[in-house]
Structures are given as structure tokens and as C-alpha cells.
């Protein structure tokens, strides 16, 4: 039983878990997670702002509970995330008086965080998202404080520090819109440079925040092939399938603020119509057929949440919507897409 079991000869199937569902789960939720999935990621609570909100303060209780849970249930534990521009406190980049840290001071701070966090879970976290979202589509490096204050080799250093702190962990570069040809080329060149310089990397994370009409599945497939050709394992790290109207003109445009709510942008508040349910099912089948076709390249497929009610897609990029992006509904009942996907096996 369980979706992970259905794909056990192909890839891990994982879920992302929130603080609430880790610490105070609804009845039966932990049993469901342990039965259905064999990989797990913390949705927010291993991000810098949660784990390390002040220079000398670490909060370990949620992450410790998560790692214990994974260990107890034999799940592949994914650490998300060591270095990112988002959900990272401002103090990380600055002196107390507000002046920016020098390159070497910021590298030392990064190393200290990676040593502390990855070191604590050495041998117990199987894969780390070492760097998240460092590339800005086809415009090259994202102009984050990491890039601005250190330079492009902040990525190399992060991977080197992570390997030293947790030698057995698979080290991943993770990003969204990884089907985008410009980003694909940039990522492949980055990995090739790593290989030449001896910088460690084991996998590429394709987040997989997809929708009914995007992205182009052929471009996504080209990326799976290109990333695998570098010698990296491909991980689908944050799969969900948005069924609501697209709220920005160009996927991948910089989103600084959530778009304002309007009823027009929330058409299924009363429930998902059968024809859209059907489209969701067909689209999930199409994606899992692609994953199965590349089962020798794909190490893991992780959903970004378990039930529709808990998905971040109810709040992004428009707050207060009713979305249906996952395989379990708001009562944790299997949706038609669950049955269709599992019966591919
Ligand atoms: C999201 C969480 O799901 C939300 O709860 C939070 O408010 C914002 O972050 N890319 C990532 C994830 O790598 O960490 C993001 O998770 C979704 C996009």
C-alpha cells in the first residue's frame, strides 16, 4: 500500500511537512505520512530564519523531531535549506550597525551556519538542498546579498562546506523553472565548472511547481536529460499542480509581493468541478509517465505538502484562494489523481 510503495523500484516519493503537522498533527496524520511516503522535507522549519533567527540562537526542537521521525520510519530525510536569499534574516549579511559584511566575514558566517546545521545531522539527513534559487532565469546569477557580497563562488563554497560538515549527504542545487532553457544552460555550466574545480555536487533539484497549462513538458524533459548527463541525480523536490488561473503574465517574472485577491482568481471556492478534477488527474498522469520514463535519472519525487488544505498554493501568489494541487483532499482522502498515478504501476 501507499504511493511510495507503488514506485519503490523507481524513485523515493516524498512529502513536505509543516511545523504544525510535525508537532501537533491531526489524528492519524503521522500514520498516513509514514504509510504513503518514504522521503520527507521540512516545509519551512530548517530555513535560516527558523533555525537560526539570531546570531547566537538556534531552535532545534522541530528539526530534531523531524529527523527522529524520518529515522524511526526509515524515510529519506531531506534538509531544506542551507543557503538561500529568502526566509533568511537581514542580520546575516550585516554588522550590527547595518554596514554590510565583507566577503570573507560573510563566507565565515555561512561556513559557521553550515557546520552547525549540517554537522548536527551528519549521517541522519540523506540529502541537503545546499543552495536554493541562486539563478535568475536567463539573466544569470540572482543579485542576492550572497552574490553581491561574496561573488558567484558563494555557491562553490557552500557545497564545499556542506561536504565537509556532512560527508555522506547527497548535496543538491535546487531551483524553480528548471525547464527554462536559459536556466538549464546556466545550471549545466555551473555543474561542469564544479566538476572541473573539484567542487562536490550530487544532485539537481527541480522544484516542480507546475500548473494545468505549464510548464512545457518537453522542455522539462530536456532539462531532466541535461542535468542527468552532467552525472547528477535529478530530484523533483517540490511537486504541486496549481489548478487556478495564472496570476502573473510571465512565469518566472520576479514576484515581490503577492497579487491581490479577486473572486475571479478564486473560481473553485465551493469545490473542484468534475471537469477540472479530470484535467488535474490527466495532467498528473502525464507527469508521472515522464518521471517513470526517466526513472534511471530520477532519485526522488517529493510533493510540497500532503493534503490540499495545507498547501502553500492556497496563498501564493494570491492570498486566500482555494487550490487543489496535491493527491489528497482537505480530509486526507485520496483524489482520483492518486488512484490514476498509482495504477501506472
Ligand atoms: C514556501 C512554503 O511552502 C511557504 O509556507 C512559505 O511561506 C514560503 O516558502 N520554493 C522553495 C520553498 O524552495 O521553500 C518554498 O516554500 C516554495 C518555493
CA of 196 to the centre of ligand 1 (A): 32
Instruction: Residue 94: give its domain's CATH number.
Output: 3.20.20.80
Atom of ligand 1 nearest to the CA of 132: 13
pLDDT of residue 258: 60
**312 CB less than 6 Å from ligand 1?**
yes
CA of 43 to the centre of ligand 1 (A): 7
**132 CB less than 6 Å from ligand 1?**
yes
Number of domains in the chain: 1
Burial class (CB in 10 A: 0-12, 13-18, 19+), 269: exposed
pLDDT of residue 103: 98
**149 CB less than 6 Å from ligand 1?**
no
**Which residue has its alpha carbon closest to ligand 1 atom 16?**
43
pLDDT digits (tens, 9 = 90+) for 207-258: 999 999 999 999 999 999 999 999 999 999 999 999 999 876 544 444 555 6
Q: Are the C-beta atoms of 313 and 240 separated by less than 8 Å?
A: yes
pLDDT digits (tens, 9 = 90+) for 63-83: 999 999 999 999 999 999 999
Determine the Cα–Cα distance for residues 131 and 201; give it in Å rounded to an integer. 11
**Which residue has its alpha carbon closest to ligand 1 atom 15?**
43
pLDDT of residue 273: 98
pLDDT of residue 252: 43
Query: Which pTM does this prediction carry?
Result: 0.96
Determine the Cα–Cα distance for residues 37 and 14; give it in Å rounded to an integer. 5
**Which residue has its alpha carbon closest to ligand 1 atom 5?**
312
**310 CB less than 6 Å from ligand 1?**
no
Virtual torsion, Cα 46, 94, 163, 85, nearest 10 deg = 50
Domain hosting residue 48, numbered range: 3-342
Q: Which residues of the chain have pLDDT under 70?
A: 248-260
**43 CB less than 6 Å from ligand 1?**
yes
Of 226, 182, 181, 180, the C-alpha closest to 204 is 226
Amino acid at each position: 500500500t501507499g504511493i511510495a510503495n507503488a514506485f519503490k523500484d523507481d524513485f523515493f516519493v516524498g512529502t513536505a511537512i509543516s511545523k504544525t503537522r510535525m508537532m501537533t498533527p491531526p489524528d492519524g496524520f503521522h500514520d498516513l505520512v509514514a504509510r504513503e511516503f518514504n522521503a520527507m522535507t521540512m516545509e519551512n522549519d530548517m530555513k535560516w530564519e527558523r533555525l537560526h533567527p539570531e546570531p547566537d540562537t538556534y531552535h532545534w526542537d522541530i528539526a530534531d523531531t523531524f529527523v527522529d521521525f524520518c529515522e524511526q520510519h526509515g524515510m529519506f530525510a531531506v534538509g531544506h535549506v542551507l543557503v538561500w536569499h529568502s526566509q533568511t534574516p537581514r542580520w546575516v549579511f550585516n554588522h550590527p550597525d547595518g554596514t554590510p559584511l565583507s566577503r570573507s566575514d560573510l563566507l565565515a558566517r555561512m561556513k559557521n551556519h553550515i557546520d552547525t546545521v549540517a554537522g548536527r545531522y551528519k549521517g541522519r539527513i540523506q540529502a541537503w538542498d545546499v543552495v536554493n534559487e541562486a539563478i535568475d532565469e536567463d539573466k544569470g546569477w540572482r543579485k542576492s546579498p550572497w552574490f553581491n557580497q561574496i561573488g558567484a563562488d558563494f555557491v562553490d563554497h557552500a557545497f564545499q562546506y556542506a561536504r565537509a560538515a556532512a560527508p555522506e549527504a547527497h548535496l543538491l542545487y535546487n531551483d524553480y523553472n528548471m525547464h527554462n532553457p536559459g536556466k538549464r544552460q546556466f545550471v549545466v555550466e555551473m555543474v561542469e565548472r564544479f566538476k572541473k574545480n573539484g567542487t562536490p555536487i550530487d544532485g539537481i533539484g527541480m522544484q516542480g511547481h507546475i500548473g494545468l497549462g505549464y510548464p512545457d513538458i518537453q522542455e522539462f524533459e530536456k532539462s531532466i536529460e541535461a542535468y542527468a548527463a552532467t552525472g547528477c541525480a535529478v530530484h523533483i523536490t517540490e511537486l504541486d499542480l496549481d489548478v487556478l488561473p495564472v496570476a502573473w503574465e510571465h512565469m518566472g517574472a520576479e514576484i515581490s509581493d503577492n497579487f491581490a485577491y479577486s473572486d475571479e482568481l478564486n473560481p473553485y471556492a465551493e469545490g473542484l468541478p468534475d471537469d477540472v478534477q479530470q484535467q488535474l488527474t490527466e495532467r498528473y498522469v502525464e507527469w508521472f509517465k515522464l518521471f517513470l520514463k526517466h526513472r534511471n535519472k530520477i532519485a526522488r519525487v517529493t510533493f510540497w505538502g500532503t493534503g490540499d488544505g495545507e498547501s502553500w498554493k492556497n496563498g501564493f501568489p494570491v492570498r486566500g484562494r482555494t487550490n487543489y494541487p496535491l493527491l489528497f483532499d482537505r480530509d486526507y482522502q485520496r483524489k482520483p489523481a492518486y488512484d490514476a498515478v498509482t495504477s501506472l504501476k
